[in-house]
Structure 1
């Protein structure tokens, strides 16, 4: 279930100046709770996964230009 939340959390980003810079942890943890996922596990994993997701968004936006 944790993996399912991570696959769906990509849209829960904080953005400024047209570029995402972080995940919205509150939104992701609420999503996890609604999906019945283990929020304690996600809270441990999110800081590590956040950099990967934000980097992917940035690369995607650079390639779209």
Structure 2
């Protein structure tokens, strides 16, 4: 179940000037709670996952230019 939350959390980003810079942890943890996933586990891994998701969005934005 935790992996399902991770797959869906890519849309829960904070953005400024049109560029994502962070995940909205509150939204992701609320999603996890609603899905019955382990919020404790997600709280531990979110910082690492955040870096990967944000970097992916930034690279995608650079390639679109």
Bin of the TM-score, shorter chain as denominator length: over 0.9
Instruction: Name structure 2 gaps, 5 residues minimum.
Output: none
Is residue 2:47 matched to residue 1:47? yes
Instruction: Name structure 1 gaps, 5 residues minimum.
Output: none
Distance (whole Å) between structure 1 residues aligned to residue 33 and residue 64 of structure 2: 33
TM superposition outliers: structure 1 runs of 4+ over 4 Å: none
Q: Which residue of 1 aligns with 2:30?
A: 30
Question: How does the TM-score come out when normalised to structure 1?
Answer: 0.95
Q: What SS does the corresponding residue of 1:61 show, helix, strand or coil?
A: helix
Q: Provide the alpha-carbon RMSD of the alignment.
A: 0.7
Question: How does the TM-score come out when normalised to structure 2?
Answer: 0.95
